[in-house]
Chains A and B, each alone.
Chain A
Amino acid sequence: MSKGFVGLTLHAHLPFVRHPEYPRFLEEDWLFEAISETYLPLLRVFNKLRREGVPYQVTISLSPTLCSMLADSLLQQRYIDHVNLMIDLGDKELERTKEFPKINELAHMYRELYIQNLSDFTGVYRGNILQGFRSLEDSGHLTLITTSATHAFLPLYKETPIAVKAQIELAMMSHVAHFRRKPKGFWLPECGYYPGLEKYLAHNNIEYFYGATHSVSLSEDKTRRGIYAPVSCKNGVNLFARDYGIGQLVWSEDHGYPVDGSYRDFYRDIGYDLDLEYVRPHIHEPDVRSFTGYKYWAVTDTDSPEKRVYDQKAALERVSEHAENFIYSIKKKGAKIGKIIDREPYFTIPFDAELFGHWWFEGVQWLEQVLRGLAEDTELETMSPEKYLHRYPKNEVIQPALSSWGNRGYSSVWVDGSNDWIYRHVHRSINRMIELADRFPDQTSLKERFLQHAAREVLMAMASDWPFIISNGTSVGYAERRMKEHIHNFNLVYENMCRNSVNTEWLTRTEKKTNIFPDIDYRIFGGGIE
């Protein structure tokens, strides 16, 4: 067959969660778990492959909210505290499980992972792991791209284009601040696209973005290559539409690789399984049981009456099989597609980064095996979208269709009976922010800071995470509270500005808490849209 190209993309994102007002905060564990289980293991694998001279290209989208947290000194120190707490738990586990060799071996493995993470975090990266990604981009192994500033699901803000523009502009600024170069690619949160969005991407010199499969297949225009080559919007911005079928080899919760019985079970964790007295020092107050990362059970076949103890050796054997199967499936598809289209097919295969290592414990090893396999393969190779566009600068011009990769392909996750109430308030806040920016374009000093913070609060309220969490029922209380907090804070500024007053004490306290986007300029909400 002719050659094919594999565009592996990992989208890394978490909402901005930072609570200096508490000594420890449960939802900050989202970040700590992702650093321990996903980001540091991924960096170790990418560095190992680089050291060994294995050629690979992977695109990583790092959201501005995630970057802000990873660069934050308070959260960096809290991560160190968190890992130390888990290492202490590991010490206890080695003692508790010494009569059970298989479990003891696993306890040892987890404890060593935490020690390795601590060493990498403090020693190699000096607390800021973003430099690890930057270094891999410098060597040409990773391509780093960005996404909207607070991960807003943009189709629901089509009617407030200034807010869409602000989300994109601020994302670009944030990326440059962290990585010292402008990204050429843009990850649309949840692959949420609406016709016309490309205008704001072009304003920021974005060359390409990612979309759902049907952003191309349900276009008003026909294509000759389907989703197996990028398409261009009329303004020249390119779209890479994901291959749903290949992605499902991993994503599918019914038959995807991660649900194999040999792999480690995500849910069974000693934070739940052991006596409260024993785990109390390692979980959250007041006696809120939570994950500790010490998980001893395998997914196990569905017909088995009891969970099996996790066998890492058996799991790693399955990792190799699944990596081979993944490459085989792409080749098989490539052989078919290669006969239909007039150039080497490009397979756009994006995943959420946190799927690897966190939910699918062996996922990072699987990715390593896939990259090794592709490096040796004669028919396939990894290639970044940028390189592919360099190779094929001219692509079919179409008008992509409204789409997302959410349920049924549109916006139903982010607008349902549980979360639809938020839009009345967020849209109103955006319009009021535009009003403030237009009424007070030349503020300085305290009032300028007040307005900067108002812009911050509006953008935070636009985050797609809150309606998603409310819809999925995972941490509803927290998500609802965050929504209300941002709307409340914005309204407070709005009302004060209308009264020509500034609450200095409140401003200082709130700025300290929500310290994201320190260089924001509220005027991004002003001036209208051309």
Chain B
Amino acid sequence: MSSDWYQSLSIETLQALAKQESVRHIENYSLDELIEILEEIQEEKAANQNQSNDIMRLKSKKYNIIHQNHIIHSTEAEFAIPEQYADTTITLLLRDPFWAFAYWDVNDLELKKIRGQQKQVSLHLRVSELKDGKTPIKESINQFEIPIKDTDMSWYINLPNPGSWYEVELICSCLDHENVLILARSNRIESPGGYWLEHVEELKQNKDQLALFLAGHTDPAGFLADNALIEKILAGTMHRK
């Protein structure tokens, strides 16, 4: 359907659609090339949808007034928003037990000033794993650094352990690491864990508790809810000592 539909459109309409999909230099592409690009974008979107769970897939039907993203608003004025903000801050959002999303803004003047004072400085994210929400960062269980570029504004951080707390610092250091300047410190987030994650053996031994746990997370066809921690717990109950 998609291909036939694209074939029926003028090059101007295809260019407008491509522009809407953030395709750059649209004027350089032929009609066939534009169709190919748009089809690839749609395929990628379909693949993303396939990764969704059943609720999310069905929920998306509610917004499905047309088959694909063919809405063109090119004649309307764009609403300008800033690319970044002038003060230096970093925010951490928990995405799931194993991933967090950090975004930050750096004041350009501040960075220029540092660069003027220090030669060869570089930016890093320093991730601290902590046992709770109050422990000072210097008492972290674990720390690691992620090098970032000046142009980076966000990063997905792999969290090593569910059940721990995490905080991120945006740091600027000279190449020999003698001088380290903390530009901003994030909020602290807790990666979820759960009682049964720490007591898998108890769950394994208690048939009623295991039955209750399974009843909530499996459908009548025997399929398990899509959750990494649930999978981990149940995998643990199947291991022999």
Q: How far is the CA of A30 from the CA of B71 in the complex (A)?
A: 14
Q: Which of B81, B196, B215 contacts A487 (CB 8 A)?
A: B81
Contact call B195/A352, Cβ cutoff below 8 A: no
Residue of B nearest to A427 (CB): B91
B48 contacts across to A, CB distance below 8 A: 418, 471-473
B94, A251: Cβ atoms closer than 8 Å: no
User: Is A385 an interface residue, CB under 8 A from the partner?
Assistant: no
Contact of B230 among A217, A251, A465 (CB under 8 A): A217
B62 near A156 with CB under 8 A, answer no
Q: Verify B225–A415 contact, CB threshold 8 A.
A: no
Chain B residues with CB under 8 Å of A214's CB are 194, 217, 225, 227, 229-230
B160 at interface, CB cutoff 8 A: no
Tell me whether A245 and B94 are in contact (CB under 8 A): no
Is there contact, CB below 8 Å, between B54 and A251? yes
Interface residues of B in 100-130 (CB under 8 A from A): 101, 103, 105
Contact B66 A411 (CB under 8 A): no
Report the contact-size class of chain A (Cβ under 8 Å from the partner): 35 or more
The answer to whether A220 touches B193, judged by C-beta atoms less than 8 angstroms apart, is: yes
Across the interface, do A474 and B94 meet the contact criterion of CB distance under 8 Å? Answer: no
Interface contact A336-B195, CB-CB below 8 Å: no
Q: Do the beta carbons of A358 and B1 come within 8 Å of each other?
A: no
Whether the Cβ atoms of A491 and B82 lie closer than 8 Å is: yes
Separation of A427 and B154 alpha carbons in the complex (Å)? 14
Whether A62 sits at the interface, judged by CB under 8 Å, is no
A476 within 8 A of B: yes
Nearest B residue to A405 via CB reads: B55
Instruction: Say yes or no for B24: interface residue by CB 8 A criterion.
Output: no
Are B55 and A410 touching (Cβ within 8 A)? no
Min CB–CB distance A181 → chain B (angstroms)? 28
User: Once the chains bind, are A409 and B226 in contact (CB under 8 Å)?
Assistant: yes
Chain B residues within 8 Å of A290, by CB: 65-66
Chain B 53-66, CB within 8 Å of chain A: the 1/0 string? 11111111111111
A274 within 8 A of B: no
Q: Contacts A475-B69, A485-B79 known; A34 to B56 CB distance under 8 Å?
A: no
**Chain A nearest Cβ from B97, distance in angstroms:** 7
Q: Is A267 an interface residue (CB 8 A)?
A: yes
Does A272 lie within 8 Å of B215, measured CB to CB?
no
Residue among B1, B192, B229 with max Cβ neighbours from chain A (10 Å): B192
| B217 & A272 in contact (Cβ 8 Å cutoff) | no
Would you call A423 and B93 a contact (CB within 8 A)? Answer: yes
A256 at the A/B interface (Cβ < 8 Å)? yes
- Is A228 part of the binding interface, using a Cβ–Cβ cutoff of 8 Å? yes
Measured in the bound complex, the distance between the Cα atoms of B56 and A413 in whole Å is 8
A406:B56 contact, CB within 8 angstroms: yes
Given A27-B65, A219-B194, verify A407-B53 contact (CB < 8 Å).
yes
CB of B94 within 8 A of CB of A402, answer yes
Interchain CB contact under 8 A, A26 and B59: no
CB distance from B47 to the nearest CB of A (A): 10
Q: A159-B91, A288-B70, A336-B211 are in contact. Are A217 and B216 (CB under 8 A)?
A: yes
Q: Are B91 and A423 in contact, with the CB atoms below 8 A? A: yes
List residues of B (194-222) whose CB comes within 8 Å of A's CBs. Answer: 194-197, 208-209, 211-213, 215-221
- Are B213 and A217 within 8 A (Cβ)? yes
Whole-angstrom distance from the CB of A517 to the nearest CB of chain B?
21
A487 touching B79, Cβ below 8 Å = yes
**Chain A residues, Cβ within 8 Å of B215:** 226, 228, 245, 333, 336-337
CB distance from A415 to the nearest CB of B (A): 5
A415-B101 contact, Cβ under 8 Å, with A14-B62, A218-B230, A252-B54: yes
| Complex CA–CA separation, A263 to B85 (angstroms) | 52
Contact among A29, A272, A336 with B1 in the assembled complex (CB-CB below 8 Å): A272
C-alpha gap A341/B211 in the complex (Å) = 11
Of A216, A218, A465, most buried by chain B (CB within 10 Å of CB) is: A218
Q: Which 4 A-B pairs have the closest CB atoms?
A: A473-B45, A248-B219, A218-B194, A226-B212
List 9 A-B residue pairs with CB atoms under 8 Å apart, sorted by A's residue number: A245-B218, A253-B58, A254-B54, A256-B54, A401-B192, A402-B190, A423-B101, A465-B63, A484-B81
| A-B contact sample (4 more), CB < 8 A, given A246-B220, A252-B221 | A255-B221, A329-B220, A401-B194, A411-B96
